[in-house]
Amino acid sequence: MKYFFAIALLTVLGISATFGENKSIPGDWLLTKVENANGPQEVYTPFTFQKNGDFVVMGMKMGTWKNDKKSKVISIVSEQFREISGENRILKFDNDFMVLENKGAKIYFQRMDKVKIESENKNSGLMGAWKLSSEKPDVERIIKFTPPDNFSYVEKEPGMETSGSGTWVYDQKKNSLLLIARIEGLAKKYSLSDKSEKSFTMKSEKAVIKAVNVPAASKVERLSFNKDDFYSADGSFKYDDDNKLSPQWLDAHEMMQYLINVHHLTYQYRLLNEATGVFITKNLVSDVMADEANQSISIDYVFSGRDKKSVPEDEQFTSNKINPEQNYNKLFPEKELNFRVAGQETITVPAGTFHCTVIEALGDFDEYRKLWMINDKPGVYAKIIADKPGDFGSYSVYELQEIK
Protein backbone atom coordinates (compact mmCIF):
# COMPACT_ATOMS: atom_id res chain seq x y z
CA MET A 1 0.00 0.00 0.00
CA LYS A 2 1.40 3.39 -0.92
CA TYR A 3 0.80 6.36 1.32
CA PHE A 4 1.16 9.99 0.32
CA PHE A 5 1.28 12.39 3.28
CA ALA A 6 -0.91 15.47 3.37
CA ILE A 7 0.50 18.90 2.90
CA ALA A 8 -2.22 20.13 5.29
CA LEU A 9 -1.44 23.64 4.10
CA LEU A 10 -3.98 25.73 5.90
CA THR A 11 -3.73 23.87 9.19
CA VAL A 12 0.04 23.46 9.40
CA LEU A 13 0.90 26.94 8.28
CA GLY A 14 -1.72 28.67 10.43
CA ILE A 15 -2.96 31.26 7.95
CA SER A 16 -4.17 34.48 9.58
CA ALA A 17 -7.33 36.22 8.47
CA THR A 18 -5.57 39.58 8.74
CA PHE A 19 -3.33 38.78 5.74
CA GLY A 20 -6.17 39.69 3.41
CA GLU A 21 -5.94 43.23 4.75
CA ASN A 22 -2.16 43.46 4.91
CA LYS A 23 -0.05 44.42 1.91
CA SER A 24 3.21 43.36 3.51
CA ILE A 25 5.11 40.32 2.29
CA PRO A 26 5.12 38.24 5.52
CA GLY A 27 2.39 35.63 5.44
CA ASP A 28 1.33 32.50 3.64
CA TRP A 29 1.53 32.16 -0.10
CA LEU A 30 0.95 29.48 -2.70
CA LEU A 31 3.53 29.10 -5.45
CA THR A 32 1.29 28.45 -8.45
CA LYS A 33 3.49 28.72 -11.55
CA VAL A 34 7.08 29.02 -12.77
CA GLU A 35 7.90 30.33 -16.25
CA ASN A 36 11.38 29.70 -17.64
CA ALA A 37 13.05 28.75 -20.93
CA ASN A 38 11.21 25.43 -20.87
CA GLY A 39 7.84 27.17 -20.73
CA PRO A 40 5.24 27.54 -17.93
CA GLN A 41 4.91 24.89 -15.25
CA GLU A 42 2.14 24.60 -12.65
CA VAL A 43 3.55 23.96 -9.18
CA TYR A 44 1.10 24.57 -6.26
CA THR A 45 3.55 24.51 -3.34
CA PRO A 46 2.88 26.37 -0.05
CA PHE A 47 5.37 28.93 1.24
CA THR A 48 5.49 31.05 4.37
CA PHE A 49 7.56 34.21 4.67
CA GLN A 50 7.79 34.67 8.43
CA LYS A 51 8.33 38.07 10.02
CA ASN A 52 11.51 36.88 11.73
CA GLY A 53 13.12 36.26 8.32
CA ASP A 54 12.65 32.48 8.17
CA PHE A 55 11.53 30.89 4.90
CA VAL A 56 9.18 27.98 5.70
CA VAL A 57 7.62 25.22 3.62
CA MET A 58 5.04 22.86 5.17
CA GLY A 59 5.96 23.98 8.65
CA MET A 60 9.69 23.33 8.17
CA LYS A 61 12.35 26.00 7.88
CA MET A 62 13.94 25.82 4.43
CA GLY A 63 16.03 28.98 4.52
CA THR A 64 15.88 32.70 5.15
CA TRP A 65 14.55 35.74 3.30
CA LYS A 66 15.05 39.49 3.37
CA ASN A 67 13.18 42.26 1.58
CA ASP A 68 15.04 45.28 0.23
CA LYS A 69 12.21 47.79 -0.29
CA LYS A 70 14.36 50.35 -2.08
CA SER A 71 15.61 48.00 -4.78
CA LYS A 72 12.42 45.91 -4.75
CA VAL A 73 14.38 42.70 -4.29
CA ILE A 74 13.67 39.72 -2.06
CA SER A 75 16.85 37.83 -1.20
CA ILE A 76 16.29 34.15 -0.38
CA VAL A 77 18.88 31.69 0.91
CA SER A 78 17.73 28.06 0.54
CA GLU A 79 19.58 24.87 -0.36
CA GLN A 80 16.34 22.98 -0.96
CA PHE A 81 14.71 25.57 -3.27
CA ARG A 82 17.55 26.73 -5.46
CA GLU A 83 15.21 27.98 -8.21
CA ILE A 84 14.26 30.91 -5.97
CA SER A 85 17.46 31.11 -3.97
CA GLY A 86 19.32 34.35 -4.55
CA GLU A 87 17.99 37.77 -5.53
CA ASN A 88 14.32 37.81 -6.64
CA ARG A 89 13.23 41.03 -8.30
CA ILE A 90 9.64 41.99 -7.54
CA LEU A 91 7.78 42.44 -10.83
CA LYS A 92 4.31 42.65 -9.29
CA PHE A 93 2.98 42.86 -5.77
CA ASP A 94 -0.51 43.58 -4.44
CA ASN A 95 -2.84 42.26 -1.79
CA ASP A 96 -3.44 38.94 -3.55
CA PHE A 97 -0.59 38.24 -5.97
CA MET A 98 3.17 38.46 -6.16
CA VAL A 99 5.40 37.86 -9.20
CA LEU A 100 9.16 37.48 -8.79
CA GLU A 101 11.95 37.18 -11.33
CA ASN A 102 15.01 35.04 -10.61
CA LYS A 103 17.70 34.35 -13.22
CA GLY A 104 15.23 35.03 -16.04
CA ALA A 105 12.48 32.82 -14.59
CA LYS A 106 9.17 34.30 -13.46
CA ILE A 107 7.72 32.90 -10.25
CA TYR A 108 4.03 33.41 -9.44
CA PHE A 109 2.57 33.45 -5.92
CA GLN A 110 -1.01 33.74 -4.68
CA ARG A 111 -1.76 34.85 -1.12
CA MET A 112 -3.87 32.45 0.93
CA ASP A 113 -6.84 33.95 2.80
CA LYS A 114 -8.28 31.51 5.35
CA VAL A 115 -11.55 33.36 5.93
CA LYS A 116 -12.32 33.53 2.22
CA ILE A 117 -11.32 29.91 1.63
CA GLU A 118 -13.49 28.61 4.46
CA SER A 119 -16.49 30.65 3.33
CA GLU A 120 -16.30 29.66 -0.34
CA ASN A 121 -15.59 26.02 0.45
CA LYS A 122 -18.59 25.92 2.76
CA ASN A 123 -20.89 27.22 0.01
CA SER A 124 -19.31 25.29 -2.85
CA GLY A 125 -21.72 22.34 -2.84
CA LEU A 126 -18.72 20.00 -2.94
CA MET A 127 -18.81 18.70 0.63
CA GLY A 128 -19.06 14.91 0.80
CA ALA A 129 -17.66 11.94 -1.09
CA TRP A 130 -17.38 11.63 -4.88
CA LYS A 131 -16.40 8.80 -7.17
CA LEU A 132 -13.96 10.00 -9.83
CA SER A 133 -13.85 8.55 -13.32
CA SER A 134 -10.70 6.77 -14.47
CA GLU A 135 -9.22 5.82 -17.82
CA LYS A 136 -8.65 2.33 -16.40
CA PRO A 137 -11.87 0.31 -16.01
CA ASP A 138 -10.56 -1.72 -13.05
CA VAL A 139 -9.56 1.35 -10.97
CA GLU A 140 -11.86 2.97 -8.41
CA ARG A 141 -11.13 6.47 -7.10
CA ILE A 142 -12.92 8.22 -4.24
CA ILE A 143 -12.35 11.76 -2.99
CA LYS A 144 -14.05 13.26 0.06
CA PHE A 145 -14.19 16.98 0.83
CA THR A 146 -14.61 17.96 4.48
CA PRO A 147 -14.78 21.38 6.14
CA PRO A 148 -13.07 23.68 6.28
CA ASP A 149 -10.47 22.72 3.66
CA ASN A 150 -9.32 19.09 3.96
CA PHE A 151 -9.82 16.26 1.51
CA SER A 152 -9.03 12.55 1.63
CA TYR A 153 -8.42 10.34 -1.38
CA VAL A 154 -8.23 6.61 -2.08
CA GLU A 155 -7.48 4.80 -5.34
CA LYS A 156 -7.81 1.03 -5.63
CA GLU A 157 -6.73 -1.24 -8.43
CA PRO A 158 -5.93 -4.96 -8.51
CA GLY A 159 -3.14 -5.65 -6.05
CA MET A 160 -2.55 -2.04 -4.99
CA GLU A 161 -4.10 0.83 -3.08
CA THR A 162 -3.03 4.48 -3.03
CA SER A 163 -4.36 6.86 -0.40
CA GLY A 164 -3.62 10.37 0.69
CA SER A 165 -5.02 13.68 1.85
CA GLY A 166 -4.51 17.35 1.31
CA THR A 167 -6.09 20.80 1.07
CA TRP A 168 -8.77 22.04 -1.30
CA VAL A 169 -9.72 25.57 -2.32
CA TYR A 170 -12.87 26.49 -4.23
CA ASP A 171 -13.01 29.78 -6.13
CA GLN A 172 -16.62 30.83 -6.59
CA LYS A 173 -15.91 33.62 -9.07
CA LYS A 174 -13.86 31.40 -11.39
CA ASN A 175 -15.82 28.23 -10.56
CA SER A 176 -12.52 26.43 -10.06
CA LEU A 177 -11.13 23.84 -7.67
CA LEU A 178 -7.55 23.70 -6.44
CA LEU A 179 -6.22 20.44 -4.92
CA ILE A 180 -2.98 20.76 -2.95
CA ALA A 181 -1.37 17.42 -2.05
CA ARG A 182 1.46 15.07 -2.90
CA ILE A 183 -0.74 12.77 -4.95
CA GLU A 184 0.64 12.14 -8.41
CA GLY A 185 -1.64 13.26 -11.21
CA LEU A 186 -4.32 14.72 -8.93
CA ALA A 187 -2.85 17.86 -7.33
CA LYS A 188 -3.60 20.73 -9.69
CA LYS A 189 -6.16 23.38 -10.54
CA TYR A 190 -9.41 22.41 -12.27
CA SER A 191 -12.24 24.35 -13.85
CA LEU A 192 -15.65 22.96 -12.94
CA SER A 193 -18.68 22.47 -15.17
CA ASP A 194 -22.04 20.67 -15.18
CA LYS A 195 -22.14 21.08 -11.40
CA SER A 196 -25.16 19.70 -9.56
CA GLU A 197 -25.92 17.98 -6.26
CA LYS A 198 -25.17 14.59 -7.81
CA SER A 199 -22.25 15.22 -10.15
CA PHE A 200 -19.77 17.67 -11.66
CA THR A 201 -16.91 17.67 -14.16
CA MET A 202 -13.29 18.63 -13.36
CA LYS A 203 -11.19 19.88 -16.28
CA SER A 204 -7.47 20.62 -16.41
CA GLU A 205 -5.12 20.98 -19.36
CA LYS A 206 -4.48 17.24 -19.47
CA ALA A 207 -7.52 15.63 -17.89
CA VAL A 208 -11.31 15.59 -17.82
CA ILE A 209 -12.65 13.86 -14.71
CA LYS A 210 -16.29 13.11 -13.99
CA ALA A 211 -17.29 13.14 -10.31
CA VAL A 212 -20.44 11.39 -9.09
CA ASN A 213 -21.74 11.77 -5.55
CA VAL A 214 -21.35 8.72 -3.31
CA PRO A 215 -23.65 8.42 -0.27
CA ALA A 216 -21.93 7.82 3.04
CA ALA A 217 -22.07 4.26 4.34
CA SER A 218 -25.47 4.18 6.06
CA LYS A 219 -25.17 0.81 7.78
CA VAL A 220 -21.98 -0.69 9.09
CA GLU A 221 -22.66 -3.82 11.15
CA ARG A 222 -19.49 -4.13 13.15
CA LEU A 223 -18.99 -7.60 14.60
CA SER A 224 -19.13 -7.66 18.39
CA PHE A 225 -17.64 -11.09 19.21
CA ASN A 226 -13.94 -11.83 19.73
CA LYS A 227 -11.52 -14.68 20.33
CA ASP A 228 -12.23 -14.86 24.07
CA ASP A 229 -15.81 -15.91 23.28
CA PHE A 230 -14.60 -19.10 21.59
CA TYR A 231 -12.19 -20.51 24.17
CA SER A 232 -12.53 -21.61 27.77
CA ALA A 233 -10.12 -20.58 30.53
CA ASP A 234 -7.89 -23.60 29.87
CA GLY A 235 -7.56 -22.67 26.16
CA SER A 236 -9.85 -25.37 24.78
CA PHE A 237 -12.32 -24.58 21.99
CA LYS A 238 -15.85 -24.32 23.37
CA TYR A 239 -17.98 -25.16 20.32
CA ASP A 240 -18.70 -28.29 18.34
CA ASP A 241 -21.39 -27.22 15.91
CA ASP A 242 -21.48 -30.01 13.34
CA ASN A 243 -24.97 -31.08 14.33
CA LYS A 244 -26.30 -27.53 14.02
CA LEU A 245 -25.38 -27.03 10.36
CA SER A 246 -27.81 -27.65 7.52
CA PRO A 247 -27.87 -31.38 6.56
CA GLN A 248 -27.19 -30.44 2.92
CA TRP A 249 -23.94 -28.67 3.90
CA LEU A 250 -22.82 -31.60 6.05
CA ASP A 251 -23.33 -34.08 3.23
CA ALA A 252 -20.69 -33.57 0.52
CA HIS A 253 -22.67 -35.67 -1.94
CA GLU A 254 -25.69 -33.38 -1.47
CA MET A 255 -23.41 -30.43 -2.25
CA MET A 256 -22.14 -32.22 -5.36
CA GLN A 257 -25.68 -32.84 -6.67
CA TYR A 258 -26.65 -29.20 -6.17
CA LEU A 259 -23.49 -27.61 -7.61
CA ILE A 260 -23.55 -29.76 -10.77
CA ASN A 261 -26.12 -27.30 -12.10
CA VAL A 262 -24.30 -24.15 -10.94
CA HIS A 263 -21.58 -22.54 -13.07
CA HIS A 264 -21.08 -19.04 -11.67
CA LEU A 265 -21.78 -17.16 -8.46
CA THR A 266 -21.67 -13.35 -8.56
CA TYR A 267 -21.10 -11.36 -5.38
CA GLN A 268 -21.21 -7.64 -4.79
CA TYR A 269 -18.08 -6.76 -2.82
CA ARG A 270 -18.15 -3.59 -0.74
CA LEU A 271 -15.02 -2.39 1.03
CA LEU A 272 -15.38 0.40 3.55
CA ASN A 273 -12.81 3.15 3.20
CA GLU A 274 -12.37 4.55 6.68
CA ALA A 275 -10.91 7.85 5.45
CA THR A 276 -13.84 8.73 3.21
CA GLY A 277 -16.56 6.84 5.09
CA VAL A 278 -17.97 5.29 1.90
CA PHE A 279 -17.98 1.84 0.38
CA ILE A 280 -15.91 1.05 -2.69
CA THR A 281 -17.98 -1.46 -4.64
CA LYS A 282 -17.34 -3.98 -7.37
CA ASN A 283 -18.69 -7.34 -8.52
CA LEU A 284 -16.72 -10.56 -8.11
CA VAL A 285 -17.46 -13.68 -10.17
CA SER A 286 -16.76 -17.11 -8.72
CA ASP A 287 -16.51 -19.99 -11.19
CA VAL A 288 -18.02 -23.27 -9.97
CA MET A 289 -17.17 -26.73 -11.25
CA ALA A 290 -18.62 -29.93 -9.80
CA ASP A 291 -17.17 -33.06 -11.46
CA GLU A 292 -19.17 -36.05 -10.30
CA ALA A 293 -17.11 -38.55 -12.32
CA ASN A 294 -13.88 -37.54 -10.62
CA GLN A 295 -15.54 -36.69 -7.33
CA SER A 296 -14.16 -33.14 -7.15
CA ILE A 297 -15.63 -29.72 -6.50
CA SER A 298 -13.91 -26.45 -7.36
CA ILE A 299 -15.21 -23.01 -6.33
CA ASP A 300 -13.25 -19.81 -6.85
CA TYR A 301 -12.54 -18.24 -3.47
CA VAL A 302 -13.52 -14.61 -3.94
CA PHE A 303 -13.94 -13.73 -0.26
CA SER A 304 -10.55 -12.06 -0.16
CA GLY A 305 -11.85 -9.24 -2.36
CA ARG A 306 -10.50 -10.55 -5.68
CA ASP A 307 -11.57 -12.79 -8.52
CA LYS A 308 -9.78 -14.06 -11.62
CA LYS A 309 -10.32 -10.80 -13.48
CA SER A 310 -8.93 -8.60 -10.72
CA VAL A 311 -5.73 -10.56 -10.05
CA PRO A 312 -2.57 -9.06 -11.60
CA GLU A 313 -1.27 -10.85 -14.70
CA ASP A 314 1.87 -12.04 -12.94
CA GLU A 315 -0.10 -13.69 -10.13
CA GLN A 316 -1.96 -16.98 -10.37
CA PHE A 317 -5.48 -17.18 -8.98
CA THR A 318 -6.15 -20.34 -7.00
CA SER A 319 -9.56 -21.93 -6.58
CA ASN A 320 -10.61 -23.85 -3.49
CA LYS A 321 -10.93 -27.54 -4.34
CA ILE A 322 -12.10 -30.53 -2.37
CA ASN A 323 -12.58 -34.23 -2.84
CA PRO A 324 -15.73 -35.02 -0.84
CA GLU A 325 -14.41 -38.47 -0.08
CA GLN A 326 -11.15 -37.24 1.44
CA ASN A 327 -10.88 -33.62 2.53
CA TYR A 328 -14.32 -32.13 3.01
CA ASN A 329 -14.36 -28.74 4.80
CA LYS A 330 -17.68 -28.15 6.55
CA LEU A 331 -17.71 -24.45 5.60
CA PHE A 332 -16.48 -24.97 2.01
CA PRO A 333 -15.89 -22.86 -0.09
CA GLU A 334 -14.80 -20.84 2.96
CA LYS A 335 -11.46 -21.83 4.40
CA GLU A 336 -11.05 -23.91 7.53
CA LEU A 337 -12.21 -21.66 10.36
CA ASN A 338 -12.95 -21.99 14.05
CA PHE A 339 -16.64 -21.21 14.22
CA ARG A 340 -19.87 -21.38 16.14
CA VAL A 341 -23.48 -21.41 14.98
CA ALA A 342 -25.25 -18.20 15.96
CA GLY A 343 -28.72 -19.24 14.80
CA GLN A 344 -31.09 -19.21 11.84
CA GLU A 345 -32.08 -16.14 9.84
CA THR A 346 -33.99 -15.33 6.68
CA ILE A 347 -32.28 -12.53 4.76
CA THR A 348 -32.84 -10.74 1.48
CA VAL A 349 -29.93 -9.95 -0.84
CA PRO A 350 -29.96 -8.91 -4.52
CA ALA A 351 -30.14 -12.58 -5.60
CA GLY A 352 -33.30 -13.21 -3.55
CA THR A 353 -34.58 -14.15 -0.11
CA PHE A 354 -32.97 -17.16 1.59
CA HIS A 355 -33.23 -19.05 4.85
CA CYS A 356 -29.73 -19.31 6.28
CA THR A 357 -27.64 -20.74 9.06
CA VAL A 358 -25.65 -17.89 10.61
CA ILE A 359 -22.02 -18.59 11.48
CA GLU A 360 -19.61 -16.54 13.59
CA ALA A 361 -15.99 -17.43 12.84
CA LEU A 362 -12.40 -16.51 13.61
CA GLY A 363 -10.41 -15.62 10.50
CA ASP A 364 -6.71 -15.04 9.94
CA PHE A 365 -4.72 -12.11 11.38
CA ASP A 366 -7.34 -11.03 13.97
CA GLU A 367 -10.15 -10.86 11.43
CA TYR A 368 -13.69 -11.91 12.36
CA ARG A 369 -16.29 -13.24 9.94
CA LYS A 370 -20.05 -13.60 9.97
CA LEU A 371 -21.44 -16.00 7.36
CA TRP A 372 -24.93 -16.64 6.07
CA MET A 373 -25.03 -20.21 4.62
CA ILE A 374 -28.08 -20.81 2.41
CA ASN A 375 -29.54 -23.97 3.93
CA ASP A 376 -30.89 -25.61 0.76
CA LYS A 377 -28.03 -24.44 -1.51
CA PRO A 378 -24.88 -26.08 -0.09
CA GLY A 379 -21.70 -24.27 -1.13
CA VAL A 380 -23.43 -20.91 -1.60
CA TYR A 381 -23.28 -18.06 0.89
CA ALA A 382 -25.93 -15.35 0.78
CA LYS A 383 -23.77 -12.88 2.67
CA ILE A 384 -20.42 -12.56 4.43
CA ILE A 385 -19.13 -9.78 6.66
CA ALA A 386 -15.36 -9.60 7.25
CA ASP A 387 -14.33 -7.25 10.04
CA LYS A 388 -10.78 -6.58 11.22
CA PRO A 389 -10.76 -3.88 13.91
CA GLY A 390 -7.84 -1.62 14.71
CA ASP A 391 -5.77 1.12 13.13
CA PHE A 392 -4.73 -1.12 10.22
CA GLY A 393 -8.02 -2.99 10.00
CA SER A 394 -10.66 -3.31 7.33
CA TYR A 395 -14.38 -3.90 6.92
CA SER A 396 -16.00 -5.55 3.90
CA VAL A 397 -19.32 -7.10 2.89
CA TYR A 398 -20.10 -9.72 0.24
CA GLU A 399 -23.70 -10.12 -0.95
CA LEU A 400 -24.93 -12.70 -3.45
CA GLN A 401 -26.03 -11.07 -6.73
CA GLU A 402 -26.70 -14.05 -8.96
CA ILE A 403 -26.60 -17.85 -9.18
CA LYS A 404 -26.11 -18.96 -12.74
Confidence (pTM): 0.67
On whether both 125 and 106 belong to a single domain, the answer is no
Q: Is the domain of 179 the same as that of 72?
A: no
Statement to judge: residues 163 and 25 lie in one domain: no
Q: For residues 149 and 173, state if they share a domain.
A: yes
What are the DSSP calls for 174-210, one per residue? TTEEEEESS-TTT-SEEEEES--SSEEEEE-SS-EEE
Domain of residue 155, CATH code: 2.40.128.370
Same domain, 210 and 232: no
Does residue 222 lie in a domain region?
Answer: no
Per-residue pLDDT tens digits of the chain, which is 404 residues long = 333 333 333 333 333 333 333 468 998 898 989 999 889 988 888 889 999 999 898 778 999 999 998 899 999 999 988 889 999 999 999 988 999 999 999 999 989 888 899 999 999 999 999 999 988 877 889 999 999 999 999 888 766 778 888 889 999 999 999 998 878 788 889 999 999 999 999 999 888 999 999 887 767 889 999 999 999 989 899 998 777 899 999 888 899 999 999 999 999 999 988 878 888 888 999 999 999 988 899 999 999 998 998 887 778 887 888 887 776 788 999 988 999 999 999 999 999 999 999 999 998 888 999 999 999 999 999 999 999 988 778 899 999 999 99
Task: Count the domains in the chain.
Answer: 3
Say how far apart CA 188 and CA 44 lie, in whole Å: 7
**Do the Cβ atoms of 148 and 162 come closer than 8 Å?**
no
- For residue 221, tell me if it sits in a domain: no
Q: Are residues 186 and 86 in the same domain?
A: no
CA pair distance 268, 321, nearest whole angstrom: 22
CA of residue 83 relative to chain centroid, distance? 35
Angle value at C-alpha 9, between 144 and 161, nearest 5 degrees: 40
Quote the domain boundaries for residue 355: 227-403
Is 2 inside a domain boundary? no
Q: Ramachandran region of residue 127, left (φ > 0), alpha (ψ -120 to 50) or beta? A: beta
Would you say residue 82 lies in a domain? yes
Backbone angles phi, psi at 291, to 5 degrees: -110, 100
| Same domain assignment for residues 170 and 309 | no
